[in-house]
Amino acid sequence: MPPIFHNQVARRILLFSWIFCFPFVTPSKGQSIDTPAIIPRPVSMHLQPGNFILNDQTRYWLSDDSLRPDWEIFQQDILQATGFRLSPTSRLSHRNLIAIHILPQPDNRLGPEGYRLSVSAQQVELSAKTRAGIFYGLQTLLQLLPPQIESHEPVKLPAWSIPCVQIVDYPRFHWRGLMLDVSRHFFTKQEVEAYIDEMARFKFNVFHWHLSDDNGWRIEIKGLPRLTNVGAWRVSRTGDFGTFDPPQPGEPANDGGYYTQDDIREVVAYAAQRHITILPEIDVPAHSLALIAAYPSLSCTGLPYAVNPGSPFYRILDNVLCTGKDSTYLILDTIFAQIARLFPGPYIHVGGDEAYKGFWAQDPRDQAEMQQNGLHTLEELQGYFERRVEQIIIKHGKKMIGWDEILEGGLAPEAAVMSWRGIQGGIAAAQLHHDVVMSPWGHCYLDLYQGDPLVEPKTYGMLRLDSVYFYEPVPPGIDSSYILGIQGNLWAEHVPNLRHAEYMTWPRALAIAEVGWTPAAEKNWPDFIHRVEAEFPRFDAQEVKYATSMYQPIIQPVRDSLTAELEVKLRTQIPGLTIYYSFDGTNPDNFYPAYAHTPLRFPKGATELRVVSYRGNKQMSPVIVITKDALQKRL
C-alpha cells in the first residue's frame, strides 16, 4: 500500500480550554439554535422543551444484567468530571432516572445496532434490540451532556444538563472502520486502547490493525521467535521517512516493539467491550521485508536483509514472498492459525497490495509454479498465491479480505475486497458478487495533507475535510448489498506518535463516521461543520489533539485564458469565513483587503502572497505565505 504509492504520487492543541457551554451549535438553515450537536447525525431527532438534570441523586435501572458492562463504561466516562457514581434502583417509576432496557419485541427499523433515546425532565429512557444499540445510545447521551463531561479532572458546573429530545437512530452501513498502521511506527498497547476509545465515541465498529509490513512485525507467533526477536526491531531514524540512510554494519536495531499474545487478547477484549471488532492484517506477499528479515529463505533471493527503517528499497531489495516454496505456505499456515485463534472477528486481512513481481520473473521456482498451474502472467501467479492463502484462512474458520490488487489475477472464490486505489476495484468486486469495503485513498486516507503543505506537517497528497464528507460509498448502478461500508486508513510513515495520530485522524474521521452512519439524504455540510466546531471543546476537555485545518484558505494558482498570466483564486472549505491578503510582505489581518472572488494578480515587483482567514473579528487560520515561484511550480 502506501510507501510505494507514496513514491508514485509525490514521495509521499489547541490549548486545554474550559468552555462552559452546552453541546449546541449555531443554527444552519431550518435548524433550531438549541439543536444538540451529535456526530454522527442521528436518523431522527426532535427537540422538546426542558432539560434533564444529572446529579448525584440520579438513579439507573437496567432491564438485564447483561447490560452492566455497557453501563459501567458510561459510568466511568462521567465519573471523572462529575464525581457522580450513580446507584441502581428497581423502581421504574422513580423520578430522576436513567432507564435502559432491551426491547422485548423485534424492531426491524432499528436493526442490530439502532436505538431509541427519549429524554424528559424526569427521566432518560434508552432502548435497543441489542447491547450494541444500547452502547451507541449511551455515546449519544454523552454527547448531549456539556463538553466538560470529557474532562479527566473534576469540574464544577451549575448543572449537568441534558436537553429533552426524542431520537430514533441506526446506522446506514454495517462496516464503519478506522485503520491504524503500527508497523511504520510502533504504538503501545495503551496507545492503541486510547485510539479505540476515541473511535467508540463516534460509533465506529471496526478497528483494522495493520500488524506487519516492511518496517516492523508486531505480533508474537508461537514457534516463530525470530518474527519478534528480529522482525520487530530496526535501526533508529528521525526525519523524512522514505529518505533515511539504510542500516549500517554493526548498527543496533533498537527501534520498535511488538504485542505479546496476552497483549492481543487484552486489546481484543477491550475493543469488544466497546462493540468494536478488530480486523488483523498480515500483509503478504509483498510488504513482507520484516518477515523476510526474520526468515530470509522465504524470499526468492534468500539474501539476508534488515528490517527497513524507512530507506529506499523498492525494486532493490526483495520484499515479496516466493510463491514457489512450500515453506512460504507452511509458515503462513502457522501464522494464520494463531491469528485466527486470537481474533474472534470473521475476517483476516492479507494485504495483497503493491507486489513487485520482478523477482518472481527471475526465479526458477516461481516460473515452475506458473508452468505447472497453467498460469500465463505474473498477475495470475499472485492470484494463485491468494487462492492458496484463502484456503489456509478458510481452514482456520475465517474469511479473507485484501486490498483491491487481489482482483488482478482472478479473485479468490470467497474473498472480500477493500478498495483503496479508487473505486474501480470495489465496483469490479461487487459486480462479481463479492463483499466490498470502500476505502479509496482520495477520500479515506487520513495520512494525507488536510491543509496547505506550507503550514502542515510533512506528508504527501491532499485530503481535505470536505472531500471526506462528500464521498458516497455506493457507486451508481452497484447493488448496495455488496457494499459493507466505509473505512478510513491512517498509514504511519509520517505519524511517529499518538498525538500526531490524533491530529491526522480528527476531525476527518468525524466525516467518515457520518458517511458510515447517517442516511445519505440527511447529510448537510453547513450543519456538519457547526457540529464539528461544537466537538472541538469536547476534544479539548478530553485532551485529544485535533486539526483546525478546515479554516485555512485554499490557494489555487491558475493562468488567465487570454494572457497566460499567473492568477490566484482563493476559497475556503467552510461557510462564513473571509480571506484577507497582502502582497507587500506584511502579515494580513481583518483590516487588509478582503478577497472578493475575483482572481488576484501579483502587482509589479511583488514576490509573495500572504493570506489568512477570519470569522468576524477572530483569526481562524495561520497566515500562509507562498512565493510567486512556488505558485508557478504548483501550476
Q: Which residues are catalytic?
A: 354
Q: Where are the beta strands (DSSP E) in 389-444?
A: 399-403, 416-419, 436-438
SS3 of residue 424 by DSSP: helix
DSSP codes, 485-534: EEEEEE--TT--SHHHHHHHHTTHHHHHHHHHHS-GGG--HHHHHHHHHH
The full length of the chain comes to 635
Give helix 364-372 / helix 378-395 axis angle, nearest 10°. 80
Look up residue 354 and give its DSSP letter: S
Separation CA 398–CA 343 (nearest Å): 10
Q: Could you tell me which residues are beta bridge partners of residue 209?
A: 180, 280
Cell 464525581 maps to which residue?
83
Which residues neighbour 305 within 8 Å (Cβ) at sequence distance 6 or greater?
289, 292, 293, 296, 299, 317, 318, 319
- DSSP collapsed to 3 states, 83-101: CCCCEECCCCCCCCEEEEE
CB 99 within 8 A of CB 242: no
- DSSP collapsed to 3 states, 114-159: CEEEEECCCEEEEEECCHHHHHHHHHHHHHHCCHHHHCCCCCCCCC
Separation in Å, CA 609 to CA 123, 147, 568, 625: 57, 38, 9, 6
**Category of 11 on φ-ψ map: left (φ > 0), alpha (ψ -120 to 50) or beta:** left
Burial zone of 394 (CB within 10 Å; 0-12 exposed, 13-18 middle, 19+ buried)? middle
Separation CA 262–CA 182 (nearest Å): 17
Cell digits of residue 46: 426532535
Task: Give the residue ranges of DSSP H helices in 518-588.
Answer: 525-542
Burial zone of 376 (CB within 10 Å; 0-12 exposed, 13-18 middle, 19+ buried)? exposed
Separation CA 473–CA 471 (nearest Å): 6
Dihedral (C-alpha) 88, 94, 95, 98: value to the nearest 10 degrees? Answer: 40
**CA Rg value for the chain:** 26
Half-sphere exposure of 209 (CA within 13 A, CB side): 31
Separation CA 402–CA 487 (nearest Å): 13
Query: How many other C-beta atoms are found inside a 10 Å radius of the C-beta of residue 455?
Result: 13
SS3 of residue 579 by DSSP: strand
Separation in Å, CA 509 to CA 176, 225, 240, 540, 590: 10, 36, 25, 17, 31
CA nearest neighbour of 214 among 256, 275, 173, 270: 256
Which residues neighbour 633 within 8 Å (Cβ) at sequence distance 6 or greater?
none
